[in-house]
Structure 1
Amino acid sequence: MFSLHYFSRKRLILITTMLFMAFMISACGTGETGNGSNGEGVQTTTANSSQAGEANSVEEAGVKTVSTINGDIEIPVNPQRIVAEEYLGSLIALDVIPVGAPGLTIQNYYFKDFLQGIEDIGDYGKPSIEKIVALNPDLIITGNGEKTYEQLSKIAPTIVIPYGDLKNAQEELTYFGELFGKEEEAKTWLEAYDRRIAEAKAKVDAVVPADATFSIMEDGEKSTWVYGDNFGRGGQPVYQALGRKPPSGIAAEIMEKQWAELSAEMVSQYAGDYIIMTANTRTIEDFKADPIWSTLSAVKKGQMYIWPEERSWYYDPLAVLAQTEELAEWLSKKN
């Protein structure tokens, strides 16, 4: 339930009066109890009511039961002070701005402007319990609850959604639209998202052969990493949004494991016709001058796209949309 400090004295008096009226009506045998549903896995609890004004007040103060990996928990119907360690992109898309988030998330290239004034709760995966307590949250959302759930759940109702459970923008927005009673907003946002993704894909399909292969890589100086479709670095926009494929010989491995560390000798085996490379210090000219990388078709033809980790690491719906359009623009101009 919400704490009483969320309500002004005037509203508290009004609610008390309304509840008294409802009690009197119920005593006369005319009251009803209704249990509404906010979608699969989310049930809304309402109180006895026969007047619209009273129903709105009850909804503001109400709770609903949500099924989570930690069992059924009660959360506020309209949480006002959310601490979100994860899923900020989906929350912002629904105009749900938290009061606290990890510093790394607040600095997200794609939505940091939306989070001006949000409190930093510490490191991602290892938040400061003291800072969260000080924010007096009424709901906590995290994807890293294995080590912190017991502590966090003592502060406020805590929903743990492990990374990978929500596999794409559609699943994320649908879930949070249901959670916050913003199903229509989620539907509208996803319609615009799908339209823009389709436009980007059509732009790429018009100039890049359907059988062209793509590799998602990251430069580690002494080694190279390669990624699948759900590990950031461009995997979501390339493999999910644009529908492209990795080289056939390594596709099954990469899509199942999602990452692999490569030695210099292994790079050619994992390199596709196009390479989307995360690199903070090396340029395309550096790769062209490298005795191993310069032998790859993608490097020879200039079919390597280099971007920094501050743009490639993120995989929330806002980031994926922006990344997809960025890569589509490069591919269409390149070809």
Structure 2
Amino acid sequence: MKSLHRLTCFLLLGLLAVTLIAACNTASNTRVTNTHTTNDQPQVGNCRIIQHEFGETCVPLKPQRIVALNPDINLDPLIALGIEPIGYTSDRIKGKEVLSGVSLDDVKGATNVGKPDQPSIEKIFMLKPDLILATKYHPYQFLSAIAPTVVVPSPNLEMAGHEAFFKENLRYVAKVLGEETKAESVLSQYQKRIEDLKQRLGNRLSQIKVSVIYYIHGLVYTPAKNYDATADVLIDLGLHYKLPPSGKSFSIESVDEYNTDILFIINLERKPLSFFLQHPIFSRLKAVKNNRAYLVPLERWDTRGILGANQILDDLFKYLPENT
């Protein structure tokens, strides 16, 4: 059995090497081919040229077999655009499969190809994709030998733009797929929900002070704007949101800085709410005393996609009104 496995691996690596050489030759030929522009996107024959961090990729105009290798950065916007992948990655928490911002129902029928930081090249190869959506942390050379691969930009605290990352992210993936109009429709629906919640909160909107913290092993840190969807949703609402000091973690003794009317706790350790209610430091916070401290799931609030942003909005509709 071991010799058969080795033979299979050898053949697979051989196929990858041949495909890589062919891809390199194709890329070389593409560079000397005249291009023309349609809808602001350069096209060569039946593909669309997309620039990304590792170069440029000729993406099929209508890809049918897409593999998305990060739940936040490329699976979330893909599903939001109404496109079903054939392959995806996911995390596991205490043996349970979880996807940030995306429901497992959204990927029914698709193949799990591993973890976001360690996808299986062999499983991806066997799916015969015609487009791979990756990040800069994935093995681009191997992936691009299998199929056209686009490196979708990742959030960066030091290079954050002026717009929320989840909005830039959706627009980028939409550009890759030629679905710009659909992306603007999705963003308009999100903005309508923002306005609906503002109207529901009325005058209280200018009075509510909100904090969001991650908790793990006695340390806390907070979501950053133009990076985490949580911060950007709260800012879009116009709430008084306590911004983090450069996104760095700090000791739990400093949590008094986040002594606000409402506190959302993203609990990385999966501790029960009673842990925080009885904690000598947390228990003195205004939100805890007034029963306005809420535990929120990591997979719903630790997100950087438009679907994740809408899940956060779902919870804000539930928790922000006074009668909750």
Range into which the TM-score falls when normalised by the shorter chain: 0.7 to 0.9
The 1:264–1:167 alpha-carbon spacing in structure 2 relative to 1, beyond 3 Å, is: closer
| The structure with more radius of gyration | 1
Query: Which residue matches 1:297?
Result: 286
CA contact (8 A) 1:217 1:277 kept: yes
Does 2:55 align with 1:71? yes
Which of residues 154, 162, 177 in structure 1 aligns to 2:174?
177
Unaligned segments of structure 2, at least 5 residues: 1-33, 157-162
Residue identity opposite 1:219 in structure 2: Y
In structure 2, C-alpha distance between the alignment counterparts of 1:201 and 1:283, rounded to whole Å: 31
TM-score, length-normalised on structure 2? 0.75
Q: Secondary structure at the match of 1:66?
A: strand
- How far 1:84 sits from its partner (Å)? 0.8
Kindly provide the CA deviation profile for residues 203-253 of structure 1, in whole angstroms up to 9, marking residues without a partner as x: 234434x254322112214332323235548333223x3233434xxx3x5
Query: Which residue matches 2:297?
Result: 308
Does 2:118 align with 1:129? no
Which of residues 241, 251, 261 in structure 1 aligns to 2:249?
261
Q: Secondary structure at the match of 1:199?
A: helix
The 1:186–1:206 alpha-carbon spacing in structure 2 relative to 1, beyond 3 Å, is: same
Which of residues 84, 93, 106 in structure 2 aligns to 1:97?
84
Between 281-290 and 71-80, report the one with greater CA deviation: 281-290
- How far 1:34 sits from its partner (Å)? 8.7
TM-score, length-normalised on structure 1? 0.73
RMSD of aligned C-alpha atoms? 2.7
Q: Secondary structure at the match of 1:227?
A: coil
Q: Secondary structure at the match of 1:177?
A: helix
Residue identity opposite 2:168 in structure 1: E
Percent of matched pairs sharing the same residue: 27
Higher relative contact order (CA 8 A, sep 6+): 2
Q: Secondary structure at the match of 2:222?
A: strand
In structure 1, C-alpha distance between the alignment counterparts of 2:274 and 2:90, rounded to whole Å: 33
Task: Please give the residue correspondences for 1:52-201 in structure 2 after superposition, counting only pairs within 5 Å.
Answer: 62-86=46-70, 87-104=74-91, 107-108=98-99, 110-143=102-135, 145-164=136-155, 167-201=164-198
- How far 1:184 sits from its partner (Å)? 2.6
CA contact (8 A) 1:89 1:111 kept: no
Residue identity opposite 2:234 in structure 1: V
Which of residues 216, 225, 234 in structure 2 aligns to 1:229?
225
- How far 1:120 sits from its partner (Å)? 0.9
Task: Please give the residue correspondences for 1:211-290 in structure 2 after superposition, counting only pairs within 5 Å.
Answer: 212-230=208-226, 232=228, 234-239=230-235, 241-247=236-242, 251=243, 254=245, 257=246, 259-279=247-267, 281-290=270-279
- How far 1:291 sits from its partner (Å)? 1.3
